[in-house]
Amino acid sequence: MKNVVIIGGGITGLATAFYLRQYVHPTVQITLIDAASRLGGKIASAYENGFVVEGGPDSFITQKTGALALCRDLGLSDQLIGSNRAAKTTYVWNREQLHSIPEGMMLMAPTMLVPFLRSRLISWPGKLRMGIEMFLPARRNPSDESLASFVRRRLGKEALEKIAAPLMAGIFAADPEKLSLQSTFPMFLTMEKQHGSLTRGILQKKRAQDSAPVQPGPKPLPPPMFMTLRGGLQQLVDAIVQRLQRETILLNRGVRSVIRDHDRYKIELSDGSLLWADEIVFATPSDVTAKLLWDLNPVLAMKLRAIRYVSTATVSLGFKRGDVHLPLNGSGFLVPHSENRRITACSWSSKKFNHRAPDDCELIRVFVGGARAEALAEQDDAALIDLARQELRAIMGITAVPVLAKAYRWPKANPQYDVGHPARMDEVDQIVAWHHGLHLAGAAYRGAGIPDCIQSGMKAAQAIAKNLATSEVTYKEARVSVSV
Ligand SMILES: Cc1cc2nc3c(=O)[nH]c(=O)nc-3n(C[C@H](O)[C@H](O)[C@H](O)COP(=O)(O)OP(=O)(O)OC[C@H]3O[C@@H](n4cnc5c(N)ncnc54)[C@H](O)[C@@H]3O)c2cc1C
């Protein structure tokens, strides 16, 4: 009988276990181990007085199909909800006012002239600077560069400070001066290379889409950009766990060490017990994986240790509807670092998604910390809630006492894809390939969002199924429902 051990029961480890069970012979023994008392890792939904509060992620992007496909594979299609199309505008706090990001911005490049010209977020010199992007020469040097350097070079300082940097703080909790462009937005590099300019690349893509032959019949609406589940993302975790009936799940037991023992892996748990595995998946944060791999391959461990993590926190506040005056068409706002405030972003959760608050209430969630203000995220719950209330009073004028207040701290939880990350990942992959049966998956490597984590778990499951097939265990052809 073959044994597979998956270390880490966040969404990566759970997805690995779920897909693996579909790919391998029923006799393969799968064990999932987590140091915590619950599965789900950073996915943590709470239910209180009719509110659905997300402590960690609140949704997933649909452009990358991994999460949507997994929800469908789990029979959760009727539980999926999309971000409200009416709340698609995002605002930016600038000079004591909320300004909407102009319609037609593709991340940071304008594609629609009128809304861009009308926007009061960017000054006229800033608009002019962004407008000349299409006439600037392309960079010749093929090496990785920071996102900040790219945006400054192509679109100017104002686009960086008011749009790109706050977006990156929101998505990656990152400092754009350190963030690798190749790891995060490789399509911008490709556009620059192929079209000489971002704006030209985006416009050409739009033109090609507009001139594509129209299929007869009504055009199906694309899925909303972000989706989640009616009962919060915990529903995804619960649905996977329900399917893992034949697997051994060990909670409250951290892995203490992993060594090679002849042709198997010997795993020691925190309670002193031992397990042996033919195939092993590390679905733990890379700093934990680095410690566990030290005896096996110190060079690999050092490469993993070099991936930095930063701390963040979220604070969710529920208010009576009459106490909050939200713009009607928004999903929330970003706060540029240059504004010297103590939050990086705010989601109007109950505007963004339905089923998040009782009918007479609104749910608001603020983000604290990240690469440029880590210390703020390390305060205790009461201080975080106080900070969130003060910031919402200053920015949104909310003075009422919240009917719900919940803080979540995420110490060293967000991996940072620093400049040079793709090259480091190539080296990591090469070293991992020397170790038969060793697999790394999760947010630290090639995509930090939930769909990326699921995709990496699925890839690990496929690789294991192939290894086991070549070692005489029946390999059921992988039912690949995710486009890679
Ligand atoms: C505040 C916040 C908001 C986010 N928002 C979004 C969002 O809206 N959309 C999105 O797509 N992504 C979002 N992300 C990113 C996303 O949540 C994570 O990348 C993803 O959940 C990571 O999953 P994972 O399974 O790889 O890691 P984790 O969830 O960190 O799971 C790792 C598991 O390993 C376990 N473990 C650790 N050490 C050991 C050990 N020694 N032995 C055994 N087990 C161990 C841990 O207990 C944990 O359960 C957000 C992240 C944060 C922090």
Q: Does residue 243 register a pLDDT over 60?
A: yes
pLDDT-derived band at 471 (thresholds 50, 70, 90) equals low
What integer pLDDT is reported at residue 120 of this predicted model?
87
Pick the residue whose CA is nearest to atom 26 on ligand 1: 442
How far is residue 281's CA from residue 53's CA, in Å, rounded to a whole number?
31
Pick the residue whose CA is nearest to atom 2 on ligand 1: 56
Reported as a single tens digit per residue, the pLDDT across 319-361 is 999 999 877 679 999 999 999 999 999 999 999 999 999 999 9
Reported as a single tens digit per residue, the pLDDT across 133-183 is 989 999 988 899 999 999 999 999 999 999 989 988 888 999 999 999 999
* C-alpha 44 – ligand 1 centre gap (Å): 10
Q: Which amino acid is present at 421? A: H
What integer pLDDT is reported at residue 348 of this predicted model?
96
How far is residue 119's CA from residue 97's CA, in Å, rounded to a whole number?
13
pLDDT-derived band at 317 (thresholds 50, 70, 90) equals very high
What integer pLDDT is reported at residue 328 of this predicted model?
62
* C-alpha 5 – ligand 1 centre gap (Å): 18
How far is residue 478's CA from residue 374's CA, in Å, rounded to a whole number?
42
* C-alpha 442 – ligand 1 centre gap (Å): 8
Structural domains in the chain? Answer: 3-41+236-307+418-470 (3.50.50.60), 109-135+146-210 (1.10.3110.10), 309-415 (3.90.660.20)
How far is residue 437's CA from residue 2's CA, in Å, rounded to a whole number?
12
Q: Does residue 472 register a pLDDT over 80?
A: no
Q: Does residue 98 register a pLDDT over 60?
A: yes
Q: Are 3 and 276 in contact (CB under 8 A)?
A: yes
Q: What percent of the chain has pLDDT over 70?
A: 96
Averaged pLDDT of the chain:
92
Q: Does residue 218 register a pLDDT over 90?
A: no
What integer pLDDT is reported at residue 483 of this predicted model?
33
Hey, which of 59, 284, 288 would you mutate to test ligand 1's pocket, going by the most ligand atoms within 8 Å of its Cβ? 284
What integer pLDDT is reported at residue 321 of this predicted model?
93
Kindly provide the b/e burial profile for residues 441-478, where b requires at least 16 CB atoms within 10 angstroms of the residue's own CB. Answer: bbbbbbbbbbbbbbbbbbbbbbbbbebbbeeebebeeb
* C-alpha 246 – ligand 1 centre gap (Å): 24
Pick the residue whose CA is nearest to atom 42 on ligand 1: 254
* C-alpha 294 – ligand 1 centre gap (Å): 22
Beta-carbon count within 10 A of 262 CB: 7
* C-alpha 13 – ligand 1 centre gap (Å): 10
Reported as a single tens digit per residue, the pLDDT across 427-441 is 999 999 999 999 999
What integer pLDDT is reported at residue 110 of this predicted model?
72
CA proximity to 315, closest of 387, 421, 417, 220: 387
How far is residue 454's CA from residue 441's CA, in Å, rounded to a whole number?
9
Nearest ligand 1 atom to the CA of 450 is 11
Q: What percent of the chain has pLDDT over 90?
A: 79
* C-alpha 12 – ligand 1 centre gap (Å): 8
Q: Which residues contact 258 (CB under 8 A, 6 or more apart)?
A: 7, 265, 266, 267, 268, 280, 292, 293, 295, 296
pLDDT-derived band at 217 (thresholds 50, 70, 90) equals confident
pLDDT-derived band at 390 (thresholds 50, 70, 90) equals very high
* C-alpha 328 – ligand 1 centre gap (Å): 32
Q: Are 337 and 177 in contact (CB under 8 A)?
A: no
Q: Which residue matches tokens 């409200």?
A: 84
Pick the residue whose CA is nearest to atom 36 on ligand 1: 8
Q: Does residue 53 register a pLDDT over 90?
A: yes
Q: Are 375 and 319 in contact (CB under 8 A)?
A: no
Q: What is the dihedral of CA 51, 52, 57, 63, to 10 degrees?
A: -110
* C-alpha 243 – ligand 1 centre gap (Å): 20
Q: Which helix (H) or strand (E) holds 428?
A: helix 421-434
Nearest ligand 1 atom to the CA of 442 is 26
Mean per-residue pLDDT for 85-97?
A: 90
Q: Which residue matches tokens 């276990």?
A: 17
What integer pLDDT is reported at residue 430 of this predicted model?
98
Nearest ligand 1 atom to the CA of 452 is 11
Q: Are 283 and 12 in contact (CB under 8 A)?
A: yes
Pick the residue whose CA is nearest to atom 35 on ligand 1: 8
Q: Does residue 482 register a pLDDT over 70?
A: no
333 burial (CB, 10 Å; 0-12 / 13-18 / 19+) is: buried
Nearest ligand 1 atom to the CA of 408 is 1
What integer pLDDT is reported at residue 484 of this predicted model?
30
Pick the residue whose CA is nearest to atom 25 on ligand 1: 10
* C-alpha 263 – ligand 1 centre gap (Å): 30
Q: Which residues line ligand 1 (CB under 6 A)?
A: 7-13, 33-36, 41-43, 56-60, 254-255, 283-285, 288, 312, 314, 410, 413-414, 442-443, 448-450, 453
Higher pLDDT, 474 or 122: 122
